[in-house]
């Protein structure tokens, strides 16, 4: 894209709009929708969707129309979750221009903003409309035909009741362990283990998704709620250092646990300025994100911005969160850490178990599988039940309804979930199938109902 011509960039957040405007070329005008300028209205009988104008956003729509008429190019830079898709679709319907493109914001750095404006894609209105209608269709027919009428409750039952592969385990004293490989077993099964010294196992740290960051914050109970934890993460994303005007972290709403290849190259160069090449994770162990995925893992934009050096420019909570993300990212870039002592099981001879915290002793005799909060988020996201963009608020709702209970990072099912576990396998299959077909342009109400009632 030629950034010398007038470009209208439309984003959702007024705060982000203000930051981007300061970092953009003068030919770019940034306009915020301040949330929804229109509200979705879905007609289930006709499988049709409309955008209903919000009367309180009349002035924003007026400015959007005026600016779009004189702009050479219009870029919609919103998230790729359902709310972002609806904003992009409704803006495109309103503007009615062939110049509307879509961009993905990866961070609030000058380079990332320039890349977003340069690497835009065509905004496919029919594809967006189809995807949004299908989501609304499923949300509409599920409560009417499913045995578990609440979609999110159905997701929890599926996750806690169906057999799947576990990576986390608790011993008799509720100390948390990780496994070197996933273990397929029922969630209520105890696994006999014995200690083994001089192991050849390693502790590998993956790049961070939103789920891991929120798990850390909620476990620390600072801030108090999942909603506030997500706000704090977004505040860190929006933080710009006052003197250098540098942003600190990449996009904070992501399910990815991997970096793009280009990011690995970029971070490798930065890492080698502060550490040895022998400490760097080798290429064959690097977690590579698909270049077509909308966002990669959360990470510091510049490893030279050491938390200790810039702590005086940040509030206490923001500084502590940045330090944790920075330290975890360094670990994810580094060679796996050797584990001196592990637990092994005769039933799973190829798997070793080790304490999640290196400070804990290895002395258990049996382990049972469990789910951490971040693992729960990943599994529900895989089923299409939740998105990382609102996971903090969703966790609060699960707890307030008594659907789950937290003990540190470990999440356990509540009474209502436990009462429905006999429906777990069938419900999981239905949710998985709906998640698979929800992108199909030919999805009908009849097809969705057939899946739900099968």
- Regarding whether 130 and 11 lie in a shared domain, the answer is yes
164 in a structural domain: yes
79 in a structural domain: yes
Measured CA to CA, the distance from residue 328 to residue 206 in angstroms comes to 8
pLDDT tens track for 158-215: 999 977 789 999 999 899 999 999 998 888 899 999 988 877 888 889 999 999 999 9
Residue tagged 């899946």 (tokens): 451
- Regarding whether 327 and 287 lie in a shared domain, the answer is yes
- Regarding whether 343 and 196 lie in a shared domain, the answer is yes
The pLDDT of residue 2 is 56
- Regarding whether 241 and 323 lie in a shared domain, the answer is yes
- Regarding whether 352 and 419 lie in a shared domain, the answer is yes
Domain stop point among 315, 335, 355: 335
- Regarding whether 121 and 43 lie in a shared domain, the answer is yes
Residue tagged 């959702």 (tokens): 12
Residue 255 pLDDT greater than 60, yes or no = yes
Domain stop point among 335, 353, 372: 335
Residue 23 has which token pair? 């970092």
- Regarding whether 28 and 46 lie in a shared domain, the answer is yes
Residue 1 pLDDT greater than 60, yes or no = no
Sign of the dihedral defined by the CA atoms of residues 258, 262, 266, 271, in that order: positive
Closest CA to 213 of 158, 156, 251: 251
- Regarding whether 347 and 313 lie in a shared domain, the answer is no
Long-range contacts at 111-120 (CB < 8 A, ≥ 24 apart) = 112/247, 112/250, 112/301, 113/20, 113/23, 113/24, 114/3, 116/75, 116/77, 117/1, 117/3, 117/7, 117/9, 117/24, 117/28, 117/75, 118/1, 118/3, 120/1, 120/73, 120/75
Residue 3 pLDDT greater than 70, yes or no = no
Domains in the chain, number:
3
- Regarding whether 272 and 237 lie in a shared domain, the answer is yes
The pLDDT of residue 30 is 97
- Regarding whether 128 and 193 lie in a shared domain, the answer is no
2 in a structural domain: no
436 in a structural domain: yes
Measured CA to CA, the distance from residue 401 to residue 150 in angstroms comes to 12
135 pLDDT band, cuts 50/70/90, is: very high
Alpha-carbon radius of gyration of the chain:
24
User: Domain of 103: which CATH number?
Assistant: 3.40.50.140
- Regarding whether 133 and 43 lie in a shared domain, the answer is yes
Domain stop point among 335, 354, 377: 335
What are the distances in angstroms from CA 404 to CA 176, 230, 313, 346, 414?
18, 19, 38, 32, 5
Residue 364 pLDDT greater than 80, yes or no = yes
Domain of 214 in residue numbering reads as 205-335
Residue 242 has which token pair? 């006052």
Mean of pLDDT values over 280-307: 93
- Regarding whether 185 and 276 lie in a shared domain, the answer is no
1 in a structural domain: no
A 10 A CB-CB count for 52 gives: 11
Residue 258 pLDDT greater than 90, yes or no = yes
pTM above 0.75, yes or no: yes
């Amino acid at each position: 894209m030629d950034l010398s011509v007038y470009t209208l960039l439309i984003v959702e957040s007024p705060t982000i709009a203000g930051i981007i405007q300061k970092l953009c070329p003068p030919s770019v005008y940034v306009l915020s929708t301040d949330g929804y300028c229109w509200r979705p209205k879905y007609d289930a009988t006709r499988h049709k969707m409309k955008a209903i104008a919000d009367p309180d956003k009349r002035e924003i729509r007026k400015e959007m129309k005026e600016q779009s008429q004189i702009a050479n190019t219009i870029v919609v830079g919103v998230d790729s979750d359902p709310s972002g898709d609806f904003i992009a679709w409704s803006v495109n319907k309103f503007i009615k221009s062939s110049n509307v493109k879509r961009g993905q914001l990866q961070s609030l750095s000058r380079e990332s903003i320039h890349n977003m404006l340069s690497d835009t894609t065509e905004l496919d209105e029919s594809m967006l409309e189809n995807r949004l209608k299908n989501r609304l269709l499923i949300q509409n027919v599920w409560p009417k035909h499913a045995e578990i009428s609440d979609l999110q409750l159905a997701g929890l039952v599926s996750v806690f009741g169906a057999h799947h592969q576990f990576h986390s385990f608790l011993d008799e004293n509720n100390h948390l362990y990780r496994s070197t490989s996933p273990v397929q077993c029922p969630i209520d099964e105890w696994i006999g283990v014995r200690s083994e010294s001089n192991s050849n196992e390693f502790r590998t740290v993956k790049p961070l998704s939103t789920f891991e960051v929120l798990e850390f914050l909620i476990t620390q109970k600072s801030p108090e709620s999942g909603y506030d934890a997500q706000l704090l993460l977004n505040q860190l994303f929006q933080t710009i250092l006052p003197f250098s005007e540098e942003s600190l972290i990449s996009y904070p709403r992501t399910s990815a646990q991997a970096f793009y290849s280009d990011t690995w190259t970029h971070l490798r160069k930065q890492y080698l300025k502060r550490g040895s090449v022998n400490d760097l994770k080798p290429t064959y162990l690097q977690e590579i994100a698909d270049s077509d995925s909308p966002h990669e893992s959360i990470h510091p934009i510049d490893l030279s911005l050491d938390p200790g050096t810039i702590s005086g420019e940040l509030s206490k909570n923001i500084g502590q969160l940045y330090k944790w993300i920075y330290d975890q990212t360094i670990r994810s870039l580094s060679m796996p850490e050797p584990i001196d002592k592990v637990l092994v099981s005769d039933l799973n001879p190829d798997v070793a178990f080790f304490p999640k915290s290196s400070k804990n002793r290895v002395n258990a005799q049996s382990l049972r599988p469990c789910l951490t909060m971040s693992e729960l988020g990943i599994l529900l996201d895989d089923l299409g039940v939740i998105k990382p963009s609102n996971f903090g608020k969703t966790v609060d709702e699960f707890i307030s309804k008594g659907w789950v209970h937290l003990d540190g990072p470990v999440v356990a099912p509540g009474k209502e979930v436990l009462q429905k576990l006999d429906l777990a396998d069938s419900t999981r299959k239905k949710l998985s199938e709906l998640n698979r077909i929800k992108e199909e342009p030919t999805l009908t109400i009849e097809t969705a109902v057939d899946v739900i009632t099968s």
